[in-house]
């Protein structure tokens, strides 16, 4: 009876995720990391910043770096429009904004619904993805926010 109770505990671990689109792909992050979702605001460019840093914006008196999520993942990007959104997330002690195309869904699921990334994926893929979620005939990638900014990054929080 003990092992069945452990399995029930695992099943009971519920995750709430925010799903968003970048191009034709869907990604998700844990809702507890999200501080707010706001419309696109033109960013001030930082000289010599990595290509995926779109710039910075003023968020209630604080400087918020904006990461172009498509560029960070090596995907094609387009010039942002009023339809794009910035998901403000907390990564350890830093707040950053993720520039994405749109927020598409809020997903509630248990831990067992998360599938591992396939072994054929590269190290770069496993750096950014914690798993895959089959949801309503779609495959949504679960993002590991810890690696969105490299450890050696000197981006101000």
Q: In the chain, how many H helices and how many E strands?
A: 3, 10
CB atoms within 10 A of CB 121: 13
Residue 1 has pLDDT above 70, yes or no: no
Token representation of residue 154 = 């000197």
Q: Which domains does the chain have, with CATH numbers?
A: 2-145 (2.40.50.180)
86 has pLDDT over 70: yes
DSSP-assigned letter for residue 31: G
What is the CA angle 134-98-116, rounded to 5? 25
Regarding pTM above 0.75, the answer is yes
pLDDT at res. 121: 56
pLDDT at 11 over 70: no
- Are the C-beta atoms of residues 40 and 82 closer than 8 Å to each other? yes
The strands making up 102-110's β-sheet, listed across from edge to edge, are 102-110, 14-22, 25-30, 138-143, 129-135
* pLDDT for 10 beyond 80: no
Q: Which of 83, 90, 104, 102 is nearest to 40 (CA)?
A: 83
Encoding tokens for residue 110?
Answer: 């248990």
pLDDT in tens, 24-82: 899 999 999 999 999 999 999 999 999 999 999 999 999 999 999 999 888 888 889 99
pLDDT one-digit tens code per residue, 137-157 = 889 999 988 878 765 544 444
């Amino acid at each position: 009876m003990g092992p069945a109770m452990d399995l029930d505990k695992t099943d009971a671990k519920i995750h709430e995720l925010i799903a968003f689109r970048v191009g034709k792909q869907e990604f998700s992050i844990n809702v507890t990391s999200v501080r707010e979702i706001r419309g696109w605001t033109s960013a001030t460019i930082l000289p010599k910043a990595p290509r995926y840093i779109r710039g910075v914006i003023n968020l209630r008196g604080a400087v918020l770096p904006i990461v172009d999520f498509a560029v960070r993942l090596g995907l094609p990007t387009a010039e942002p429009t009023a339809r794009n959104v910035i998901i403000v997330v907390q990564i350890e002690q830093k707040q950053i904004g993720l520039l994405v195309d749109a927020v598409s869904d809020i997903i509630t699921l248990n831990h067992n619904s998360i599938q591992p990334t396939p072994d054929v994926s590269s190290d770069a893929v496993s750096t950014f993805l914690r798993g895959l979620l089959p949801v309503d005939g779609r495959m949504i990638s679960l993002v590991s926010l810890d690696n969105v900014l490299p450890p050696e990054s000197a981006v101000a929080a």
